[in-house]
Structure 1
Amino acid sequence: MREARIAWIDNAKGMSVILVVMMHSALGVGEAMGGEGLLHWLVAFAKPFRIPGFFFIAGLFLSRAIDRDWRSYLDKKVAHFAYFYCLWLLIQWLFKSALRPGADPLTALGQLALALVEPFGTLWFIYLLPIFFVATKRLRFVPPPLMLLAAAALEAAPIETGWAVPDEFAARYVYFLSGYLFAPRVFALAESARRYPRAALCGLLGWAMADAALAFSPTPFADYPTLASLPLMSLVTGFAGAAAVVAGAALLADLPSMEWLRYCGANSLAVYLGFFLPMAAARKLIVDHDLVASVGLASLIVTMAGVIVPLLLHRVTEQGRFRFLFERPRSFRLAPLETRAAERSAQQKAA
């Protein structure tokens, strides 16, 4: 049971991170080549649930850590992501701003400073997760129904300040919170899908048709381009899609042929951190040299580069001097108070 649960969670993470890479790849290729391909349709189909599912899965295991002391909690849930955000912010900033031909140093430094308060590029998910973790721990004694109602109201409200942190917090927190609060029911859903695969497949088919109808049906409102984006309807499609990801991931948990998906999910952080550079490089190579005429095929190649190259880089560096790219060094960890006290005592004795 435990292995199956871990397998489906890795599958769900793999699906989510691939959909994120696909979205950035397809839209970037489409803009550069002036057209759309098959992946654009898949990106549009996944839009109602892509990010909700990502945060929903991220909240599932919070109950194991939320009662830890604040120092341990901050180390695991804040310092961990802050390290990777700052490291990969610097890497992306070097390529996108500082090292570009003709770049103005003052402007580039200003962008770097701004990125400390305004999430930089594709790293906004890593920036927002620690805020979710801290907010949930601070609010854990608030009655869950009240928390859910407030979070749902934030999602439905048209909050657009222009600052990504409050805007994305309002739009996404309800899914993270729900993953935390309903984790036992989510695991039960996954187990039910594995026990009754035919019923699960029928449910997924019905969901897919409903999601497609809502995701591709336009509205007359400029701020809400599709039915799936309407207030309250976005909540329904977000949660339905997250449940579909869970059920689909569970159905794939026992298939040896899906080992590659589980591997992607087990290393989803490496993919998320590292996909930008190979994605951008592959897109530039294809567009500049006119290597592929089809927007759909180009989008697929760029997506594969964005997923595979970070995984290869992670494998190459995990035992060498560059392992700090995907593994936080001990020097960037908050040692427990007992450990720090013991180290001070040992230093005093040595002196």
Structure 2
Amino acid sequence: MATTHPAPAGVLSARGREEPVKAAPRLGWVDVAKGIGIVLVVHGHAIDGLMSAGLLSRAGLAAFSFYAVYCFHMPLFFLLSGLFVPGQIARDRRRFAWRQIGSIVWPYFLWSIIQITVLYLASSYVNKPREHLDYIQILWAPPSQFWFLYVLFLFHMVSRLLVRRDTIVPMLVAGAIAFVGFHILWPRMTIPHFFSELLIFYAVGTALAGQMAGIPAVMARFRLPIAAACLLVVPYMWFGFTRGLGFDYLAMIPATLIGICGVLAAATLLSGRAAALFRYLGERAMAIYVLHVLFVAGTRIVLAKALHLQNGALLWPILLGAGVVGPIVVFEIAARAGWNQRLGLGAKPRAAKASNA
């Protein structure tokens, strides 16, 4: 059931009139989508760690699930990240830029340094040992999962320049040019690669900002075609997986788009306890994102190397649980002490207007 929601400040309404500048309420389905997405992130890293440790095959169903998730989960996150940007920029363009220091830059540097240090100290136990404490490289080479925060900050800076009250065309054009350039030039460096590949999804998110209130209704209307597409895309992804096609190949774009629509449909249609659970996780997505690798890797090391539990199929749900629950425990403890933002774990959840409550 959709909630009424005004177009974000500075974005034209469907009737062509500019809505008044005001803060947009938090939408429950967006947090549900983030919750689904962050579980997929932890799942992917848990599977990847088990494959790298030789505890799961790179040709089995677990590897296929990794491939399938990677076809769409990060494009999904960038689309969701763009949804509230036009309204935030319209309210205060300068403040929007400064807010990213505390919400993105600080967590990036703090947890990159902590993770590098921990993995260096545990070099004899991890899959990919670190030989040096190369902190300076954080400036241009994000460690592990932190590339997302690095690229998201760049996207926010681009949006500050290109997003305007009367049009989102420049942002979409920039995203389209970057996307075409990515598939022509195929950059190998991490930041240019992800920037050019994923800017279009962030740009689409900014373009959808004024239509957020209508997304649940659209997903409900097309729920059966979306469900059918999700079923049909599975053999398509299996074909790509078995033929060695990268999940970021142009041929896999249908899987990307269908995967995103599938998550959005689930997020807007879920209700009751399921919606509440994923909304709870989505509200704590930052904490889970910055901490989950430490919990997943630490749990795998203890169970596989110390306790000699070598069954990857048994380890997977344990690692998934550790990667989700561990960061939440840290967040809740930090939040009770008022240290959650100082530790770069995200703000305390605020009231949401849940379209699927």
Alignment partner, residue 304 of structure 1: 321
Name the TM-score, length of structure 1 as normaliser. Answer: 0.80
Structure-2 separation of matches of 1:167 and 1:54: 17
Please give the per-residue CA displacement for 1:112-135, whole angstroms capped at 9, x wherever unaligned: 111121111111111111100001
Aligned match of 2:13: none
Corresponding position of 1:346 = none
Query: How far apart are residue 291 of structure 1 and its match?
Result: 5.3
Shift, 1:261, TM fit:
1.3
Match of 1:108 among 132, 138, 158: 132
Give me the whole-angstrom Cα distance separating, in 2, the residues matched to 1:312 and 1:79: 22
| 1:59/1:178 contact within 8 Å kept | yes
Match of 1:22 in 2: 43
RMSD of aligned alpha carbons: 2.9
Matches within 5 A, 1:275-286: 275-286=292-303
Judged with a 3 Å threshold, the aligned counterparts in structure 2 of structure 1 residues 259 and 94 are, in CA distance, closer, same or farther, namely same
Check if 1:147 corresponds to 2:164: no
Q: CA deviation at 1:295?
A: 1.6
**What's the counterpart of residue 173 of structure 1?**
199
2:312, 2:330 → 1: CA distance? Answer: 27
Gaps of 5+ in 1: 330-351
Q: By how many angstroms is 1:229 displaced?
A: 4.5
1:288 has 2:305 as partner: yes
Match of 1:138 among 161, 166, 173: 161
Q: Does 1:7 align with 2:18?
A: no
Q: 1:243 aligns with which of 228, 238, 261?
A: 261
- Distance (Å, rounded) in 1 between the aligned partners of 2:246 and 2:149: 29
SS in 2 for 1:216: helix
Q: Which residue of 2 aligns with 1:226?
A: 245
Contact 2:38/2:288 (8 A) holds in 1: yes
Q: Taking structure 1 as reference, are residues 313 and 169 closer, same or farther at Cα in structure 2, changes over 3 Å only?
A: same
CA deviations on 1:55-76 (whole Å, 9 max, x unpaired) are: 1111111111123444311222
Instruction: Name 2:112's counterpart in structure 1.
Output: 89
Alignment partners' CA distance in 2, 1:226 and 1:113: 34
Describe the shift of the 1:71–1:217 C-alpha distance in structure 2 as closer, same or farther (beyond 3 A): same
Q: Which residue number corresponds to residue 216 of structure 1?
A: 238
Q: Which runs of 4+ in 1 moved over 6 A?
A: none
What's the offset of the Cα at 1:327?
Answer: 5.1
Separation in 2 of the partners of 1:193 and 1:113? 45
Higher helix share goes to which structure? Answer: 1
Alpha-carbon distance between aligned partners in 2 of 1:193 and 1:94, rounded to the nearest angstrom: 44
For residue 17 of structure 2, what is the aligned residue in structure 1? none
- 265-274 vs 282-291, which moves further: 282-291
Please list, as runs of the form range in 1=range in 2, the aligned pairs for 1:63-78 lying within 5 A after superposition.
63-78=86-101
**Is the Cα contact below 8 Å between 1:279 and 1:305 reproduced in 2?**
yes
1:38, 1:301 → 2: CA distance?
18
Give 3-state SS (helix, strand or coil) of 1:23's partner.
Answer: helix
Q: 1:214 to 1:11 in 2, by over 3 A?
A: same
Residue 290 (structure 1) shift: 5.0
Is the 1:10–1:265 contact (alpha carbons within 8 Å) kept by the matching residues of 2? yes
Cα-to-partner distance string for 1:141-162 (whole Å, 9 max, x where unaligned): 564553343133134334223x
Larger Cα-atom Rg: 1
Are 2:291 and 1:274 equivalent residues in the alignment? Answer: yes
In 2: Cα distance, 1:220 partner to 1:44 partner: 10
**2:157 is the alignment partner of 1:117:** no
Q: 1:34 to 1:176 in 2, by over 3 A?
A: same
Give the aligned residue type for 1:239: L
SS at match of 2:89: coil
CA distance in 2, matches of 1:14, 1:220: 29
Per-residue Cα deviation, 1:256-310 (whole angstroms, up to 9, x for no partner): 3432211100110010011111111111112114554532221111011001100
What does residue 9 of structure 2 align with? none
Identical columns (%) = 21
Query: Shift in Å at residue 220 of structure 1?
Result: 9.8
Q: Is the 8 A contact 1:63 1:180 kept in 2?
A: yes
Q: Displacement of 1:212 after TM fit? A: 1.2
